[in-house]
Chain A
Amino acid sequence: MNDDDWRDGIFAALKAADTRQVGYVPDAGHARLIQHCQADPGIRAVSLTTEEEGIALAAGAWLGGQRAALLMQSSGVGNCINMLSLVKSCRFPLTMLVTMRGEWAEFNPWQVAMGSKTQAALELMDVLVYRVEDAASAAETVAAALDIAFNGSLATAVLLSQRLIGAKKWVK
């Protein structure tokens, strides 16, 4: 399996779950997945100015009968906290795919503050959290998160570990 296959597998899982809207804040770890979403005529890719916009977008999509997913970096989870009250109060289904920073081989210590608390912050808001450490389990984990979100009206997040994504190169 080459390095990019797991991202393609996640895209296939989004398509298999009939995901029609994908909100995202541009991110290097998600770049290939975002490109897939932008290129697919069956998916509306919505670039956001801040991650909490995506929580509200996904709620609106569900009110209109469509499934949405959100792509963000771990720092963006902190921006979502109060907006997750919308999901919790109304039991909107939600799947957030989060690329982790502040973990393995992190160069920038400012990423550690939020990255080290991302899972705890999500769990404080009653979001069901799955972690992916290896490429082989990425697609099936995303598929499981989407399934319980949309069939069980639950909020879910899949944390894609920094070891999986690879360290950011700071000096090219």
Chain B
Amino acid sequence: MMAAGSNQPRLDRRSAIRVLLADRGELLVVTGLGSTTYDAASVADDERNFYLWGAMGGAAMVGLGLAIARPDRPVLVVTGDGDTLMGLGALATIGVQAPPNLAIAVFDNGRYAETGMQPSHTDSAVDLVGVARSCGIAAAVDIANEAALADFARAVQAKERTLFARVAILADEPPRVLPSRDGVYLKTRFRRATEVE
């Protein structure tokens, strides 16, 4: 099994998010607490982004509920290794449900960037791709270059099977881009932009 830290080179997170969201089409996006929210907002504060400002460990499950409710749309969860580790059981639940329109991209820097860059479990022992595969998500890939990331983004649009990507990113902190923290506003504009309200 490949140790998480061995995947080099690592991508710049802002470049990586631009590749993922470049041609988003009808894509619905859920981001995790912290840096992936800033990443998504750095591309565009799209009304079809739902940013989590808390609820750590919950991003993938918000994506599951959304993907089940909207089988007509591709759903992409972009979150970090810390959020993923806190809700690891969600990968098992998603493996069982296997919605074909759900994709999860974990921006893995092996660090808790928000709290001072302390190492996470993926920095040493834990291989998230192996975890995802063991949870029944067969289409789980390790990504360390933009060409592979662009392939993944195209596969997300196809809505053919549940996807998981661990995206190796640099442990840095680009300037923060802060979208609204008003949860009611974020919820309501998302529902209106996607025509369920």
Query: Which residues of chain A have a CB within 8 Å of any CB of chain B?
Result: 20-21, 44, 46-50, 52-66, 68, 82-83, 85-86, 89-92
Which B residues contact A (CB, under 8 angstroms)? Answer: 28, 30, 50, 52-70, 87, 89-90, 92-93, 96-97, 183-184, 186-187, 190-191, 194, 196-197
A89 to B185, CA, bound (A): 10
The CA-CA distance from A53 to B97 in the complex, in Å, is: 13
Q: A49-B89, A59-B62 are in contact. Are A86 and B54 (CB under 8 A)?
A: yes
Contact indicator A63/B65 (Cβ below 8 Å): yes
Q: Is the CB of A60 within 8 A of B54?
A: no
Cβ-defined contact, B93 with A91, below 8 A: no
Q: Is the CB–CB distance between B92 and A49 below 8 Å?
A: yes
Q: Are B65 and A60 within 8 A (Cβ)?
A: yes
Are A56 and B55 within 8 A (Cβ)? yes
- Tell whether A48 pairs with B93 under 8 Å between CB atoms, given A57-B61, A65-B196: yes
Residues of B within 8 A of A49 (CB): 89-90, 92-93
Task: Specify which chain A residues have a CB less than 8 angstroms from the CB of B187 in the assembled complex.
Answer: 62-63, 90-92
Q: How far is the CB of A76 from chain B (nearest CB, A)?
A: 13
Whether the pair B70, A64 counts as a contact (CB closer than 8 A) is yes
* A21 and B92 form a contact (CB under 8 A): no
Q: How far is the CB of A54 from chain B (nearest CB, A)?
A: 8
Cβ-closest chain A residue relative to B60: A56
User: Once the chains are docked, how many angstroms separate the CA of A66 from the CA of B191?
Assistant: 11
A63-B87 in contact (CB<8A): no
B183 touches A60 (CB 8 A): no
Rounded to whole Å, the gap between the CB of B89 and the closest CB of chain A is 3
Structural contact, B184 and A90, CB atoms closer than 8 A: yes
What 7 pairs across the A-B complex have the smallest Cβ distances?
A60-B65, A64-B69, A65-B196, A49-B89, A90-B183, A56-B61, A56-B58
